[in-house]
Amino acid sequence: MNVAITAQPKRKPSFSDWLKTLTFYELLVGMKATLKHLLNYKPITLQYPHEKRLLPENYRGMLALLRYDDGTEKCVGCDLCEAACPSRVIRVVSGEVPGEPTKRYSKEYYMDMTRCLFCGLCVDACPVDALGMTREFEWAVYDKRQLHLNKQQLLAIGDRAYPVREKRLELQHPNVAFFNVTFKHLPQKEN
Amino acid sequence: MEIGLRLAVSLAQIAAVMGVVMLTVMILTLAERKVLGWMQDRMGPMEVGPYGVLQPIADGLKLFFKEDIIPAGANKFLFTLAPILALVPAMIGFAVIPFGPTMTIELFGMQVKPFVISDINIGILYILAFASIGAYGIILGGWSSNSKYSLLGGLRSAAQVISYELNVGLAIVGVILLSGSLSLVKITEAQAGGFWNWFIIAMPFPQIFAFVVYVISSVAETNRVPFDLPEAESELVAGFFTEYSGMRFAFFFIAEYANMILVSCVAAALFLGGWNAPYPGTILGHLGLDALAWIENVVWFAAKVYFFLFLFFWLRATLPRLRYDQLMRFGWKVMLPIALGNIVLTAIAAYFFPR
């Protein structure tokens, strides 16, 4: 392949080019721009710890576990969040509720927030809306092990971020059959 | 007794000038960050004190209490010597700068010139000589650190200072030809009586080209943007003072700012009439307050110096860094011929139209 590389025809510098070089024209244009910013001084920065940005409506911040209004945990230990998580943040240890064999809950629930990318897939995946995303973002810590959160910590985040809680599902919709809800009139399975 | 008194008065003068220079350095460190911030739509330091005005004190305290590290493998003697070698020449140049009008006052029965520490008849040569010694501080600091970044910064500085020191010297020759003296006091006095007598536009040959060459070369000589290749932070970490910390680092820092003030003072004294007002005499003098006329002169001198210092910040906010070959080509192929041509033309003009 023979491609003739021809030199770009050099434009003969005109008189005005010569004059611009001599008077540092380009330099002066730049100096004018910076001076204009100095004279119409409008800072675009915020003094962060003193003034904070308004977060957008759908802000995805720290994850939290939620409770019903009677204080019971929403989580039913179904592991769907664990399956949905792309970064393997969540680890759920599921178990039966003692005395209520048809009902399950999460014995242990861990989130390794060092890996979380705040995509919100776990929140979407949860069938009982037990996970929520808060608007907290100031989670800088000195030891990264402090970002390995257990169930109590996640519930505490949910408690402070979601003061208004839902009713239990069976109380919301009395005539509908629910996943993971025990009904008192049915015979209990023996352990 | 007589000599002891003379010494005491001189020391007092030196202390006063040093105090003013150090205060200006303090103001400059804050002013640079503020002006740079404003030009880039930021606020600059805001935390320490109202609007961050106490930031220089916080910086000074921090640097003072920082650990002073000498890296393993460094040449200890030269590593210690280099910051001193950078700071002392930058400070010593102020000895010959006239800050105000030439007058003598009677103090304890001897004649004292209050606005210049020592009016030596080779003032400008003295400043150039010590500015060159200041380069040794940078070069030795770079070499003795035993670090490749420092060494590269030091080498760049050596080449840059040699190239641009020459242009500074040649740009000044025109002024010396016109004024017929090397003493900064005499050069300033030769520009009295209105801005049309300032050497930047004075007849018979305006030194405007020399002025531009001087300003550009002095920016290069003080290692400021766009000629900050010795400390190019995006290439060489911090250049020649990469390995320095604590007060030694502060010495280099103060030296850089003191150098800025010094070249600004020299530019004001040589080209912009020094302490002379841009109109004949002084307003206070015309009003009959001759005893207070020096205030006006000193204010004019400060205004000119601060204009140059602002120019340094302004250039820093605007311009990107030059590449090394561009720097060298600009110095030797553009600035040097202009400076030489200026000398020839000024000499011819001064011969045919003597002042």
Residue B193 contacts by C-beta under 8 Å, 6 or more apart in sequence? B276, B280, B281
Asked whether the beta carbons of A36 and B39 are under 8 A apart, the reply is: no
Residue A118 Rama label (left phi>0; alpha psi -120 to 50; beta): left
What is the residue whose two structure tokens read 């009003």? B287
What CA–CA distances, in Å, run from B22 to B28, B33, B187, B219, B306? 10, 17, 26, 20, 15
Asked whether the beta carbons of B313 and B35 are under 8 A apart, the reply is: yes
> DSSP assignment, residue A54?
P
When CB atoms are compared, the residue of B35, B38, B318 closest to A30 is: B318
Question: Please, where are the H alpha helices in chain B?
Answer: 2-39, 55-65, 76-92, 123-144, 148-179, 184-189, 208-221, 233-236, 246-271, 283-286, 293-318, 324-329, 336-352
pLDDT < 70 positions in chain B: 1
> DSSP assignment, residue B231?
G
What CA–CA distances, in Å, run from A168 to A21, A136, B63, B282, B347? 78, 26, 61, 88, 99
Q: Which residue type occupies B14? A: I
As to burial, measured by CB atoms within 10 angstroms (0-12 exposed, 13-18 middle, 19+ buried), residue B230 is buried
Q: For A126-168, how does the pLDDT look when each residue is reduced to its tens digit (9 = 90+)?
A: 888 899 999 888 899 999 999 999 999 999 999 998 888 888 7
B279 CB near a chain A CB, below 8 Å?
A: no
Query: What percent of chain B is modeled with pLDDT above 90?
Result: 6
When CB atoms are compared, the residue of A35, A37, A47 closest to B41 is: A37
pLDDT at residue A85, rounded to an integer: 92
Q: For B106-165, how does the pLDDT look when each residue is reduced to its tens digit (9 = 90+)?
A: 777 777 777 888 888 888 888 888 888 888 888 888 888 888 888 888 888 888 887 888
Q: pTM of the full predicted structure?
A: 0.80
Kindly identify which residue of chain A lies nearest to residue B335, measuring between CA atoms.
A22
pLDDT at residue B48, rounded to an integer: 85
Residue B262 contacts by C-beta under 8 Å, 6 or more apart in sequence? B90, B93, B94, B97, B127, B131
In this complex, do A35 and B41 lie within 8 Å of one another by their Cβ atoms? no
In this complex, do B318 and A34 lie within 8 Å of one another by their Cβ atoms? yes
A32 CB near a chain B CB, below 8 Å?
A: no
pLDDT < 70 positions in chain A: 1-8, 173-191
